[in-house]
Amino acid sequence: MSSTATLLRPIGRCRVMGVVNVTPDSFSDGGLWIDPGAAAEHGLELAEQGADLVDVGGESTRPGAMRIDAEQERERVLPVVRRLAGQGVDVSVDTMRADVAAAALDAGAVLVNDVSGGRADPEMIPLVARTGAPVVLMHWRGHADRMQDLTQYDDVVGDVVRELRAQVDAALEAGIAPEHVVVDPGLGFSKTGEQNWTVLAGLDTFASLGHPLLVAASRKRFLGELLGDDDGHRPVTAREDATAALTTLAAAAGAWCVRVHDPLRSVDAVRVVARLAQEIRSTPEGLP
């Protein structure tokens, strides 16, 4: 298991985070891993496939999803975190609640992945500051039941960077160490399909924030729209090749990590990008 000091340290390639949704209603795998035992086994499989971290979440954040209470979220998440951490897996907890994050860290999680970027629960940022845990701060404008009503931007990339910078500044002012902050542009959250593509085209702009970047595009709706036909969107589980393509692009843009449901293709993709980057660095300037 990685230490806090090494988790965000460069390792020569983009990391891959596998996803375990212990929910009945997530857009991709809702209901598949609602049993904690099955969820833990799936997390171990993701680690065996090469995932560097396994992200465990107990509350769906798909567009339109309704919130559950904290007790139910803890009951879903904690047994899975304990089992995976006990097997030496680096576990991140996907939660917007400080008390769930605290319990998960006590159970062995090593990173907090807060899709609200600390905005949904005023206790989240102070908790992370006290514990010293690394945290992912995602760009966020509102909860799932209304987030797609909040897609108005003057300049989507510039506005997302500016709003993320405000979230990062709040975290740093609260005492979170700069080296413990990861940023996530929040693909699919308060963004239309077209806006997601614009954000992806501007990934290099997020380097201006000065923190590692997490990209979470796996199986998302805008991929289904792109790949669809007259019969409708491409089914969720048939978007893996497109996900791997975006993993390649994110890794080439310098992302610290990609968050994916099926790590196999993405693990290969980040290794290819790293090897090519190594070759480019070693090739004398001017040679093909």
pLDDT digit string (tens) for 34-61? 889 999 999 999 999 999 999 999 998 7
CB atoms inside a 10 Å sphere around CB 67? 16
**pLDDT score for 268:** 98
Instruction: Give the tens place of pLDDT for each residue, 6-34.
Output: 889 889 999 999 999 998 755 455 567 78
Alpha carbon 214 to its chain centroid, in Å, reads 6
- The tens digit of pLDDT for each residue in 206-215 reads 999 999 999 9
When pLDDT is cut at 50, 70 and 90, the band that residue 288 belongs to is: low
- Segments of 142-286 assigned E as strands: 181-184, 214-215, 257-260
**pLDDT for 231:** 86
Distance, in Å, from the CA atom of 43 to the CA atom of 37, rounded to the nearest integer, reads 10
Q: What is the pLDDT of residue 208?
A: 95
Mean pLDDT, range 90-112, rounded to an integer: 97
Section 172-179 average pLDDT:
97
pLDDT given at position 65:
66
The phi, psi pair for 56, rounded to 5°, reads: -105, 125
**Residues in contact with 272: Cβ distance below 8 Å, sequence separation at least 6, in sequence order:** 248
Q: Can you list the positions of beta strands (E) in 14-62?
A: 15-21, 53-57
Opening angle at CA 234, ends 232 and 235, nearest 5: 105
Q: Note the helical H segments in the chain.
A: 4-7, 36-48, 70-86, 98-106, 124-131, 156-173, 193-201, 221-227, 240-252, 263-282
Tell me which amino acid residue 71 is.
E
Determine the Cα–Cα distance for residues 286 and 277; give it in Å rounded to an integer: 16
> pTM of this prediction?
0.92
| Integer Cα distance of 109 and 105 in angstroms | 4
**Cβ of 288: how many Cβ atoms within 10 Å?**
3
Question: Is it the case that residue 188 has pLDDT exceeding 70?
Answer: yes
Residues designated as active site: 220, 259
- Distances from the Cα of 182 to the Cαs of 57, 112, 186, in angstroms? 18, 10, 12
Pair of tokens at residue 29: 């795998």
| 250 pLDDT more than 80 | yes
Tell me the pLDDT of the chain averaged across its residues. 92
- Distance in angstroms (rounded) separating the CA atoms of residues 31 and 29: 6
Please tell me the predicted confidence (pLDDT) of residue 149: 86
